[in-house]
Structure 1
Amino acid sequence: MKDIKDILKEIVYVPSNSGDEGLMANMFLKELKNNNYEIVKDNMGSVFGLKKSKKPNAKKVVIEAHIDDVGFISEEVNDIGLVKFSAKGGIVKKWMFGHKLRLYINEKKYYDGVVIALSPHQVKKVDPRDRGSKLSENYFENNILVDFGFTSKNDAIEKGFETGLEITWVPDFWVNGDRIFGKGFDNKIGASIVYKLISDLSKKEFDFDLYIGGTTQEEVGLRGAKTSSQMIDADYAVVVDTSPAFDVANEKDNGSLGKGPFLRIMDRGFVTPAKTISFLENISKKNNIKML
């Protein structure tokens, strides 16, 4: 049986931009079939396994994680071979300088590159009086490019470049003591946990119908979650996702590394019922699980 860290490492290296989750969905699909689940899909690409209860008229419980990451898509290439790109999901492009990105021509062919941009004092198109202002900030964010090693527009096109190609961060994964580092932990971590549960729960019997799997396009509007929830119409749902650890800003009550799972009480679209909070807190205390 694979360790959760090994599963996470494997999943980190599977590209899964929002709208292009096919490889991750296939990975889930294979594991579900290997563990004899009945396969359930929606038209957005979300994939689930169903383990039916022997109890008649059983409740439905779904365990899920979104399997997409934030990422990028190629726009155009200029005359000297530099690529302009757009974000897919909540990314602030002006923070991207120096980041290593990967341009996928297809599943087997890709080019790695680095995000570049001119310094403010090098840009003649920006009035010197405006450098450092909102105007120049917007200019740089709209003109950030990636150098994938193409020497010209023709060179890029000959090597397979076109508008609409998927771009991800270059995947990486390492462990340093009790800390795990890597690419796309939102939501590779959640996906890894649910992936492991597929086999862990496959031999157990429940008094409810279990649906377990992954949803698509969360990062661009919870799209797969909406369609799959309408399809399954579950009575209860356990959603595994990540949240920022605010202890870096001394806000330890809002998430802290090493202090256990983070129970989401409320966000912009959901309020957890008080009974559910008490239920989960009691389980954590009974099993000596730290929880925030």
Structure 2
Amino acid sequence: MITNKTLELMRELTQVIAVSGNEIKISKILQNYYREYTDEIVYDNLGSVYGVKKSKKQNAPKVMISSHMDEVGFIVKDFTKNGLIKVLSLGPACKQGLLGQRVRVMTNDGEEYKGTIVAKSNNDKDKVLDADKILIDIGASSREDFSSLGIKLGDSIVIDGSFEVLATGKRIMSKAWNSRYGCVLGIEILEALKDVELDVDLYVGCTVQHEVGLRGSQTATNLISPDLAIVLDCLTADDISGDSDAVGKLGEGVLINFYDKSMMPNRALLNHLMTTCKNNGISHQFYYSMSDGDGGWIHKLLRGCPTLNACICARNVENNSSIIDVNDYLGAREAVTKVIKSLNTEMIEMFKTENR
């Protein structure tokens, strides 16, 4: 059963505007939670942030639990004489159905204005719009209006997507589930482990600039130098057709992600996640992806470290109306928390020597 506390945390973190390169607003929120549950906070110089829960054991191995905090969106590229905004896309914005979508524009001072995506002409209304050629109308009628509103080149824009618990209570729709799922889960893992003595130094946090090239994962890994890493992300569900062979089904549990194009997971660590799920009756499903993720950099930087994806799937994953299943989230939370509790120096060394 999901609690109102978890739902409110989900609502808070999904509704923040934080596109790549301007994640400071959600970073400040994350830092407030990390201060409540950890011993210190560490940062890289791009903006990635991690709360650190220290072990009482000397020379404890470092375990990195990582998500990303940025979301797909746009930045202001230019203004037209008649008061429209031109944009540059940040990340793989879905081109289908852009026309008429409502947007939120955020200034550098945090002021927000609402608007909508418009077509250049009536002939464009039946076309799939190129994300970098859309225009946004916020009610301005001239270039001068933007100056008076404090809107400048480079300001952030997202397609609006409210947080909604859907009819049965089993599924939740919102913008930015990729990967505010991981932001929420990281906080709740820290809360669950607040009074638990671990055999590892636990680093839980989020990277920046994921959607424009997995940049924060590189600098954050260099900062922490982890001995083991678990990546939390929201991946594509492919279950719309109802095909029993579909890869990634809502409600079927945490993903046992045995392949993506940027990382082959540590097999022993993957098996440990699977065994943990089986032994505790946690729903899980096998999954592979032709996309890439932060784990692709984390596992191979420095000397490399055993790395695992502990993800859930979503419909409309890069969209402002993404849908996740409550039970998938709860299962992932239980599975990752139990895996972390089980870790010690000997087990991590076993994972490291898996391929020797």
TM-score after normalising by structure 1: 0.89
Kindly provide the amino acid, as one letter, of the partner of residue 166 in structure 1. Answer: S
Distance 1:141 1:34, change over 3 A: closer
**Residue correspondences, number:** 280
Kindly provide the amino acid, as one letter, of the partner of residue 80 in structure 1. Answer: N
Between 1 and 2, higher relative CO (CA 8 Å, sep ≥ 6) is seen in 1
- Residue 251 of structure 2 is matched in structure 1 by 258
Kindly provide the amino acid, as one letter, of the partner of residue 269 in structure 1. Answer: S
Contact 1:117 / 1:143 at 8 angstroms: preserved in 2?
Answer: no
Candidates 84, 92, 101, aligned match of 2:103: 101
Kindly provide the amino acid, as one letter, of the partner of residue 144 in structure 1. Answer: I
Identity between Structure 1 and Structure 2 (%): 32
- Where 2:30 maps in the other structure, the secondary structure is helix
- Residue 131 of structure 2 is aligned to residue 165 of structure 1: no
Per-residue CA deviation, residues 53-97 of structure 1 (Å, 9 max, x unaligned), is: 122222111112111111110011111111111111112446411
- Where 1:24 maps in the other structure, the secondary structure is helix
- Deviation of 1:171 after TM superposition, in Å, equals 4.2
Give 1:137-152 correspondences, 5 Å limit: 142-152=132-142
Contact 1:63 / 1:237 at 8 angstroms: preserved in 2?
Answer: yes
- Residue 213 of structure 2 is aligned to residue 221 of structure 1: yes
Kindly provide the amino acid, as one letter, of the partner of residue 41 in structure 2. Answer: I
Contact 1:80 / 1:152 at 8 angstroms: preserved in 2?
Answer: yes
- Residue 69 of structure 1 is matched in structure 2 by 71
Say which is worse superposed, 230-239 or 156-165, in terms of deviation: 156-165
TM-score after normalising by structure 2: 0.73
Contact 1:4 / 1:193 at 8 angstroms: preserved in 2?
Answer: no
- Deviation of 1:105 after TM superposition, in Å, equals 2.1
- Residue 232 of structure 2 is aligned to residue 276 of structure 1: no
Candidates 3, 6, 31, aligned match of 2:5: 3
How many angstroms apart in 2 are the aligned matches of 1:189 and 1:21? 16
Distance 1:55 1:103, change over 3 A: same
How many angstroms apart in 1 are the aligned matches of 2:101 and 2:257? 31
Kindly provide the amino acid, as one letter, of the partner of residue 147 in structure 1. Answer: D
- Residue 224 of structure 2 is aligned to residue 232 of structure 1: yes
Look at both structures and tell me which one has the larger radius of gyration over its CA atoms.
Answer: 1
Kindly provide the amino acid, as one letter, of the partner of residue 175 in structure 2. Answer: K
Say which is worse superposed, 167-176 or 114-123, in terms of deviation: 114-123
Per-residue CA deviation, residues 104-127 of structure 1 (Å, 9 max, x unaligned), is: 12444221111111456479xxxx
Distance 1:141 1:164, change over 3 A: closer
Unaligned runs of 5+ in 1: 124-131
Contact 1:94 / 1:144 at 8 angstroms: preserved in 2?
Answer: no
Kindly provide the amino acid, as one letter, of the partner of residue 75 in structure 1. Answer: K
Unaligned runs of 5+ in 2: 286-356
- Where 1:167 maps in the other structure, the secondary structure is strand
Contact 1:72 / 1:88 at 8 angstroms: preserved in 2?
Answer: yes
Kindly provide the amino acid, as one letter, of the partner of residue 221 in structure 1. Answer: G
| Aligned-pair Cα RMSD in Å | 2.2
Per-residue CA deviation, residues 110-169 of structure 1 (Å, 9 max, x unaligned), is: 21111111456479xxxxxxxx9xxx878x655321111101222222222321111112
- Where 2:100 maps in the other structure, the secondary structure is coil
Contact 1:94 / 1:141 at 8 angstroms: preserved in 2?
Answer: no
